[in-house]
Amino acid sequence: MLTQTDKANDLAARFGGSGAEGGEFAPGGVPVSEIAERHGSPFYLYHADMISDRVRRVQEALGTEVAYSLKANPNLAVCSLIARAGAGGEVASSGELIVARAAGFAPEDIVFAGPAKTDEELKMAVDEGIHAVNVESLGEIERLAAIAGEAGIRMGVGLRINPEAQLMGSGMRMGGTVGQFGIDQADLAEAVARVLSHESLTLRGVHVYTATQVFEVDPLLEHCRNIFDIALETADHAGHPLEMLDFGGGFGVPYFEKTSEFDLDRFGEGLREIVASYKSDGRLEGCRFLFELGRYLVADAGVYVTRVVDVKETRGKTFAVTDGGMNHHLTATGNMGQVFRKAYPLLNLTRMDGAVPEEGVAVAGPCCTPLDSFGNNIPLAAPEVGDLIGVFYSGAYGYSASNLGFLSHPSPAEVLLLDGEAVLLRAGGRPEDVLNGQKALTL
């Protein structure tokens, strides 16, 4: 079982490792201090090849289509890399749909999910001609039918089903329980009948997404068998073969100690056996099988870099206080629904070859709350003011999942390591940006 330091060093090596003078982190040969000097700190650094390679690796292992969940990281360049690697897109808002189209995802490879799609969002999906809107209620079926009918278009529909069976061995559950997601499996027949009653709709298939951060292969394979059975039941109600079967995703990323990599190869082997046993069924003839994956495609390809502003001793504990924290990276500070707050893998990027003291270091951000902490016992090479700290596994649920306006600090930059160059994707904010879009009262 790898320690957090082992994980961080492994990820640093995949980025390009150390190599600059003094053991400084130099991804692709570019010293991290040079990136910080050019673009300021804090910043997110993404690795283009790691993203593209992961997409292809998953496609090869599963033998199915892959749809990237833009919610994990909707950065335009990141999405473009994934589209070029041959993945489709899963969006959950009109904004994500705009990004998906700008990034090069073909309309026929986009599905739209989410429990509260507005009429404006449904209209955009219809106008763009995407493959399917995965509807989550009987009422949404009626609204989509009216919008598609007014546009004179026959719109593809996927039924997001909330299955009766739970997926065990997962982190956060979003199905198999009471919640806002999907149509209860008990209402499947009525949902199919509703879709078939409208000439403006065509039933493409079913969508089941029940959990995230799944590490156990066998329960997930059993879950896939259950989804196949739901699909066959749906086809029976519809009276025609299904065109799409969306298994969701949720493959786990081992952020914390005592968690290991999801066994993609073993899952892929098991999935292929299951697909082979169902694929010959006429009710699935020509059906597209797809998995929605977000964090699993991009998490390891990102590192959040923040600078040490102060080092202090308080009651025998060393604190490194940094210029970025929960305002830029909410998930890494344990403030996005985690029951137990645990530290991501961190490294002192300035002193990659530095000795790690037995006593861990507390790393805290700039916000005026004790919640702004990356961890209280981090095995970190002794930090000094000006050092750059790297928070790994930061390619997913980072920039766009954080409360960037909290305390009105500037937003971080986003940088892409591409062909040995550090390319600026989005400039960091400025203090005066806090006034953008606001109007003062004239008294």
Domain covering 106-293, topology: TIM Barrel (3.20.20)
Indicate if the pLDDT at residue 82 is higher than 50: yes
| Average confidence (pLDDT) over 95-100 | 99
% of the chain exceeding 90 in pLDDT? 84
DSSP annotation of 187: G
Predicted pLDDT of residue 338: 65
Query: From CA 133, how far away is CA 265, in angstroms rounded?
Result: 30
pLDDT tens-place string over residues 207-223: 998 778 999 999 999 99
Average pLDDT value for the chain: 93
DSSP annotation of 368: S
| Average confidence (pLDDT) over 8-34 | 86
Q: Where is 222: in which H helix or E strand?
A: helix 217-238
The more confidently predicted of residues 259 and 72 is 72
Domain ranges of the chain: 4-47+300-430, 106-293
Predicted pLDDT of residue 172: 46
3-class secondary-structure state, position 201? strand
**Residue whose C-alpha is closest to residue 271's, from 109, 2, 58:** 58
The span from the first CA to the last CA of the chain, in angstroms, equals: 64
Predicted pLDDT of residue 386: 98
pLDDT tens-place string over residues 268-290: 999 999 999 998 999 999 999 99
Predicted pLDDT of residue 36: 98
Predicted pLDDT of residue 335: 84
pTM: 0.94
Indicate if the pLDDT at residue 430 is higher than 60: yes
Q: Does the domain made of 4-47+300-430 have the CATH classification 2.40.37.10? A: yes
Indicate if the pLDDT at residue 67 is higher than 50: yes
Predicted pLDDT of residue 19: 55
What b/e sequence results for 259-280 when a residue is b if at least 16 CB atoms lie within 10 Å of its CB, and e otherwise? beebebeebbebbeeebeebee
pLDDT tens-place string over residues 301-322: 999 999 999 999 999 899 999 9
Alpha carbon 361 to its chain centroid, in Å, reads 29
pLDDT tens-place string over residues 331-357: 999 887 665 578 999 999 999 987 787
Token code pair at residue 54:
């992961």
| Average confidence (pLDDT) over 96-105 | 99
φ/ψ of residue 97, rounded to 5: -65, -40
| Average confidence (pLDDT) over 385-394 | 98
Query: From CA 438, how far away is CA 441, in angstroms rounded?
Result: 10
Catalytically active residues, by annotation? 368
pLDDT tens-place string over residues 145-204: 999 999 999 999 999 999 986 655 544 444 456 578 889 999 999 999 999 999 999 999
